[in-house]
Amino acid sequence: MKNSVVRAALALLAAVFLFLPVAQSQQRRKRTSRRVTHPARPQPVETPALPGEPSVVSTADEQQASPRRTSGGARQGTNVQAENEQLRGTVKDLSSQVEKLNGELNQMKTDQRAMYDLERLTRAEQFAEGLRTQLREVTDRESQLQERLSEIEYELQPDAIQLRAAGIGSLNPSAVRDAIQKSLERERDRIHKQLDLLAGSRTHLETAVANADAQVERLRQRAEAADQQQANSGTGPETTNGVNTNTNATPQPSPTPTPAQPPE
């Protein structure tokens, strides 16, 4: 009796140990079956084309990649267009700066030319004034010599020589009168030579003064024309793209004419 019970218990335990792994494996299968599985996409396999037979090429992948290429090309075209616009703006800015610099350079050249003309005008006026001063001196010297020559002509008269010789006590009055006459004649000849030289100098000075005055007049007209042209170009400072390009320009002083004085 006891042996049969023991055998039954052993058989039951053996059955439990046999069916326990089977039950665990079934539970594992149930758990794994609940997960969502994504089947692998089959890759197309290229079939080798036989010689002489038409081959079929699948363009599905190319059709899927074409939208990506199109979007990439559009983005690249937009970037190129933006770079071109930026380059155009840079070129425009550089062109405006070059025009501004050219305007400033032309203004500087105009100012320098005006200053040079004014300097030449000042020098020409000073030179003409110096020539007129020399001409006045020559004229004054001629007047003095003419007066002295008139006095000598009066003193060469016999009555004047006799009166002058009477003031000199001498035992030979005729010799005194001859000496006085020869002295006056030598002085007269010397004055005539000086007058001839002064006359030649006066002629050259008159010509030089006329030429200097003409040069002064030409330079004055050029300066006035430059001032008139600058006034007509614009009453206010020149601007380029809203930038003042004539900030360093200074008003040019107008030369004062020197009045010509007639020779005395």
Which of 34-38, 112-116, 153-157 has the least mean pLDDT? 34-38
Mean pLDDT, the chain, rounded, equals 75
**71 within a domain of the structure (yes/no):** no
pLDDT above 70: percentage of residues in the chain:
64
Looking at the predicted structure, is the pLDDT value of residue 46 above 90?
no
Give residue 8's pLDDT.
73
pTM: 0.48
**53 within a domain of the structure (yes/no):** no
pLDDT above 90: percentage of residues in the chain:
27
Highest mean pLDDT out of 110-119, 192-201, 239-248: 192-201
CA-to-CA distance for 76 and 79, rounded, in angstroms? 5
**74 within a domain of the structure (yes/no):** no
Q: How far apart are the first and last CA of the chain?
A: 183
* 135-190 tens-digit pLDDT: 999 999 999 999 999 999 999 999 888 888 888 877 788 898 899 999 999 999 99
CA-to-CA distance for 191 and 149, rounded, in angstroms? 7
Number of independent structural domains in the chain: 1
**39 within a domain of the structure (yes/no):** no
| C-beta of residue 241 within 8 angstroms of C-beta of residue 95 | no
CA-to-CA distance for 258 and 212, rounded, in angstroms? 12
Looking at the predicted structure, is the pLDDT value of residue 128 above 80?
yes
* 51-97 tens-digit pLDDT: 455 555 555 555 555 555 556 666 777 888 888 888 888 888 888 88
Q: Which amino acid is at 259?
A: P
**141 within a domain of the structure (yes/no):** yes
Pick the more confident residue, 26 or 222.
Answer: 222
pLDDT band at 7 (very low <50, low <70, confident <90, very high): confident
**110 within a domain of the structure (yes/no):** yes
Domain that holds residue 149: 85-235
Long-range contacts of 211-218 (CB under 8 A, 24+ apart): 212/124, 212/127, 212/128, 212/131, 213/128, 213/260, 215/124, 215/128, 216/121, 216/124, 216/125, 216/128, 216/257, 216/258
**177 within a domain of the structure (yes/no):** yes
